[in-house]
Amino acid sequence: MGLKLTDAEARGELIAHVLAGAWRITATPLNLDADEWCAVAPMLVKSGTGALVWWRLRNGPSLHSPADRDFQQAYRRHAVDAEIHRRRALDVLTRLSAAGIETLLMKGWAIAGLYPEVGLRQYTDIDVVVRPGQIPAARACLADSSVLGHSVDLHDGSASLDSLTFDELASRASVVPLGPLAVRVPAPEDHVRILAVHALRHGMVRPLWLLDLAVAVEGRPADFDWCQCLGRDRRRREWVMTAIALADALLGADVTGTPIAEAGRKVPGWLRRAVLRAWGRGVGDLSDRPPAFRALMSSLGDSRRFREEWRLRWDRPIQATIELNAPLNGLPRLPFQLAIAVRRLPKLVRTLGAVTQERRRYRRT
């Protein structure tokens, strides 16, 4: 492919090439040389897409390489994890239902059913939305369960996920079987919107999030209502359409018959490059990392680590845009990033004070 594999954006481009259409039952063969595989194979496994890579490779000529075996192992591991995740979700939702707590199951298991095999998608948290005000009761009824705290992400209503209220989402939710339970998941229209905005809010740093969106768009029912999906909010409507256009541009999602195809939606160059850089670095979501200032302070004395931390914390144009409720257009992102930096100055000052106090206490002891 003629890529400079030392460059994060180039590695991201290669990752996108490998994952393009990988969720389909039939996918075009891959033609990569050994150097290209070595550059991205560990990143693909780490990103949770190893099973999908194996799915794409399974009917082609064997690579006869460690990467080939790693992908096959990821495929087997995800198949086992899918059953473990299903049982955990059943346990959680059974407990919540018995306590009279209303729920909506989102993402994860709720979207995996659209893949050819449920084990093709990596599982992490069980995302459960409960009616606002029921979080304390939900935590109480899960307190003696081994899953709470490390695999259940409880949301107090839908405000952090969508512009619609819990009641609005629940009123048009789909009901699907989970073992003996009938559980509610967002309507296909709402799920596409939630997946798109969630991925953008977190900078689209995980390829799996864009894959989910591509699978949801291609797997939509025949009576899918695009007006319901895009909603009346002009800004959110633009975000969703751009995210779907990105799934088309990077992963080859089939957008035939969608408003995105009709409008000829274009992806801004900065947005495409930002996503590819994030994939090529393989750092994942920064929510799992220490706060920015603490991370920078702890890296003092290690110039390479400091530069990397600085780059990760600054190079977040997508998150800055969404946080400011701004358009995903072709304008430069520097003003948005500077605005977010200014907004976070008070938090930086508080963190600086806390770190200073900690260091003083450390010196005393």
**Sequence spans of domains, the chain:** 8-274, 289-364
Is a pLDDT exceeding 70 seen at residue 168? yes
- More confident: 179 or 348: 179
Give every CB contact of residue 139 below 8 A, 6+ residues apart in sequence.
148, 154
- More confident: 200 or 311: 200
Model confidence band, residue 232 (pLDDT cutoffs 50, 70, 90): confident
User: The tokens 């081994």 sit on which residue?
Assistant: 146
Report DSSP state, residue 143: T
156: its two tokens: 């107090």
Give every CB contact of residue 261 below 8 A, 6+ residues apart in sequence.
255
- More confident: 302 or 51: 51
129: its two tokens: 């939305």
Bridge pairing between strands 181-185 and 103-106: unpaired
| pLDDT tens column, 30-81 | 777 878 888 899 999 999 999 999 998 887 665 556 667 888 899 999 999 9
Model confidence band, residue 200 (pLDDT cutoffs 50, 70, 90): very high
Give the model's pLDDT for residue 6. Answer: 56
| pLDDT tens column, 210-228 | 999 999 999 999 999 999 9
275: its two tokens: 């996503």
Model confidence band, residue 4 (pLDDT cutoffs 50, 70, 90): very low
Q: Which of 197-206, 256-265, 287-296 has the highest mean pLDDT?
A: 197-206
Give the model's pLDDT for residue 295. Answer: 59
How many Cα atoms within 13 Å fall on the side-chain side of residue 69?
Answer: 3
- Look up residue 251 and give its amino acid: L
Is a pLDDT exceeding 90 seen at residue 327? yes
- Among candidate residues 155, 185, 159, the one with its CA nearest the CA of residue 172: 185
- Residues facing residue 214 across a β-bridge: none
Give the model's pLDDT for residue 349. Answer: 63
Give the model's pLDDT for residue 355. Answer: 60
Q: What is the percent of the chain with per-residue pLDDT over 70, rounded to a whole number?
A: 81
231 phi/psi in degrees, rounded to 5: 70, -175
Give the model's pLDDT for residue 2. Answer: 42
User: The tokens 């560990």 sit on which residue?
Assistant: 42
